[in-house]
C-alpha cells in the first residue's frame, strides 16, 4: 500500500436521519483511474464529498499523500472536484473560471499553465466565452480544465458524464480516459453506470447501501463477483439456484447437448435486438433465464421446447 495516494480508513458518515456510509476503507493507487460504482443513494457521492471536504466523516480517517486531511476545509486540500452540473461560475468567462484556483494560490507562470490546459482540453479560442455560451461538452471540458490546471493530487469526478446526451457520452468517455493517461493525475470517478466504470477504470469499488461490496479490476468485478449484488449490478445475470450465469454465456439448443447436463424449458419470448437476440426460457421446475444468442443463428420460437446449458467455467460461483 506504499504507493497509495489516497487512503480511506474505516470511514463512516451518519446523517441526522440515516447512515450514508458505513466503514469504508479504500486505497487508491497513485496515477490510477479508480471508480466508485453503485446505484443512487449507495453512499458513493457522500464518500466523494468527504474526500473533497464538503462533509466531515463521523468516524474514520482520510489520508492524502501521507497527510491526514479529514479535518481540513476543502480549500486546504490538494484535491479538486468536477461537479455533476459542473458548477462553472456564470459571471466569469472561460479563462476567469480556469484562473480562479490559480489566483487563490498566487501561482507563478499562470498564463503558461492556462495556455497548456486550454490546449490539452481543446478550448483554445473559447477563453472569452461565458459558460452560458458553451455546449454541454465544452462546459464539461472547462470544469476539467479548471481543476486540472491546479495539478491536484487526486481529481474527483462526480458523475461528470451524466449531464451529457447519450451520443456525446461515449465520445467524451474515450477522451476522458485518454486525458487521464496524458496528464497522469489520479482520477476518482463516481458513477452509477457499470459500462462507464468497466470501460474507464483500472480499479473499481462497488458500493451498496453505504458499504463497499467488492474492489478489484474491471475483469475481476465482472467475471468473479463476490456477492450476488455485484454480480447482478455489473450486468444481466441468470440465477439458477445459487449459480449465476451471464446471458451471453447461457446456451440453448433444441436437442439435449452431449456430455453436458442441460435443463429443459419452454421459450416464452424471443426479442430481436439488432446484432443479437434475447431468448427468454421458462425452465421446467421453476425459474426463467435469458440467453443471448447471435441474431439469426437459430430462429427459436415461442412455445418451443429447448435445453438450457452452460460451461461450468462460465459459472460465477455460488455468491453469498
Judged by the rule CB under 8 A, the positions of this chain that interact with other proteins are 52-54, 73-75, 80-81, 83, 85, 87-91, 100-101, 104-105, 146-147, 150
Report, in Å, the least distance between residue 22 CB and other proteins: 24
Q: Which is nearer to other proteins, 105 or 275 (CB)?
A: 105
Q: Which residues contact 127 (CB under 8 A, 6 or more apart)?
A: 93, 94, 95, 118
Backbone angles phi, psi at 88, to 5 degrees: -70, 145
Shortest separation between residue 47's beta carbon and other proteins, angstroms: 16
Give whichever of 62 and 316 is closer to other proteins, judged by the CB atom.
62
b/e per residue 33-71 (b: at least 16 CB within 10 A):
bbbbbbeeebbbbbbbbbbbbebebeebebbbeeeebbe
Phi, psi dihedral angles at 284 (to 5 degrees): -70, 130
Phi, psi of 184 (to 5 degrees): 70, 15
Specify the residue, 99 or 213, whose C-beta has the smaller distance to other proteins: 99
Nearer to other proteins, 155 or 270 (CB): 155
Question: Could you tell me the smallest distance in angstroms from the CB atom of residue 224 to other proteins?
Answer: 36
Q: Which CB, 141 or 246, lies closer to other proteins?
A: 141
Looking at beta carbons only, is 73 or 299 nearer to other proteins?
73
CB of 190 to other proteins, least distance (A): 15
Type and span of the H or E element at 176: helix 166-183
Residues 6 or more apart from 95 whose CB is under 8 A from it? 114, 127, 128
Q: Which three cell numbers stand for residue 253?
A: 439448443
To the nearest whole angstrom, how small is the minimum distance from the Cβ of residue 101 to other proteins?
4
Please report how close the Cβ of residue 90 comes to other proteins at its closest, in angstroms.
7
Distance CA 246, CA 311 (A): 11
Amino acid at each position: 500500500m506504499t504507493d497509495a495516494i489516497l487512503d480511506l480508513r474505516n470511514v463512516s458518515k451518519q446523517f441526522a436521519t440515516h447512515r450514508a456510509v458505513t466503514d469504508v476503507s479504500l486505497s487508491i493507487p497513485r496515477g490510477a483511474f479508480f471508480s466508485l460504482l453503485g446505484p443512487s443513494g449507495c453512499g458513493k457521492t457522500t464518500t466523494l464529498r468527504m474526500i473533497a471536504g464538503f462533509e466531515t466523516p463521523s468516524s474514520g480517517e482520510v489520508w492524502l499523500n501521507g497527510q491526514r486531511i479529514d479535518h481540513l476545509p476543502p480549500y486546504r486540500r490538494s484535491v479538486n472536484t468536477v461537479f455533476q452540473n459542473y458548477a462553472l461560475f456564470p459571471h466569469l468567462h472561460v479563462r476567469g473560471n480556469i484562473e480562479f484556483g490559480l489566483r487563490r494560490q498566487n501561482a507563478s507562470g499562470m498564463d503558461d499553465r492556462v495556455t497548456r490546459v486550454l490546449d490539452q482540453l481543446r478550448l483554445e479560442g473559447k477563453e472569452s466565452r461565458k459558460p452560458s455560451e458553451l455546449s454541454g461538452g465544452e462546459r464539461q471540458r472547462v470544469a476539467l480544465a479548471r481543476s486540472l490546471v491546479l495539478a491536484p493530487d487526486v481529481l474527483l469526478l462526480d458523475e461528470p458524464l451524466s449531464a451529457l446526451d447519450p451520443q456525446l457520452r461515449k465520445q467524451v468517455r474515450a477522451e476522458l480516459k485518454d486525458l487521464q493517461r496524458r496528464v497522469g493525475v489520479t482520477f476518482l470517478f463516481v458513477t452509477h453506470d457499470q459500462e462507464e466504470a468497466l470501460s474507464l477504470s483500472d480499479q473499481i469499488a462497488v458500493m451498496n447501501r453505504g458499504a463497499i461490496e467488492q474492489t478489484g479490476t474491471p475483469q475481476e468485478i465482472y467475471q468473479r463477483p463476490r456477492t450476488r449484488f455485484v454480480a447482478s449490478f455489473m450486468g444481466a445475470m441468470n440465477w439458477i439456484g445459487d449459480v449465476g450465469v451471464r446471458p451471453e454465456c447461457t446456451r440453448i439448443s433444441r436437442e439435449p447437448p452431449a456430455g453436458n447436463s442441460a435443463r429443459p424449458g419452454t421459450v416464452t419470448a424471443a426479442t430481436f435486438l439488432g446484432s443479437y437476440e434475447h431468448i427468454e426460457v421458462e425452465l421446467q421446475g421453476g425459474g426463467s433465464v435469458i440467453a443471448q444468442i447471435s441474431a439469426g443463428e437459430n430462429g427459436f420460437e415461442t412455445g418451443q421446447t429447448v435445453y438450457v446449458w452452460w460451461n461450468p467455467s462460465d459459472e460465477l460461483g455460488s455468491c453469498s
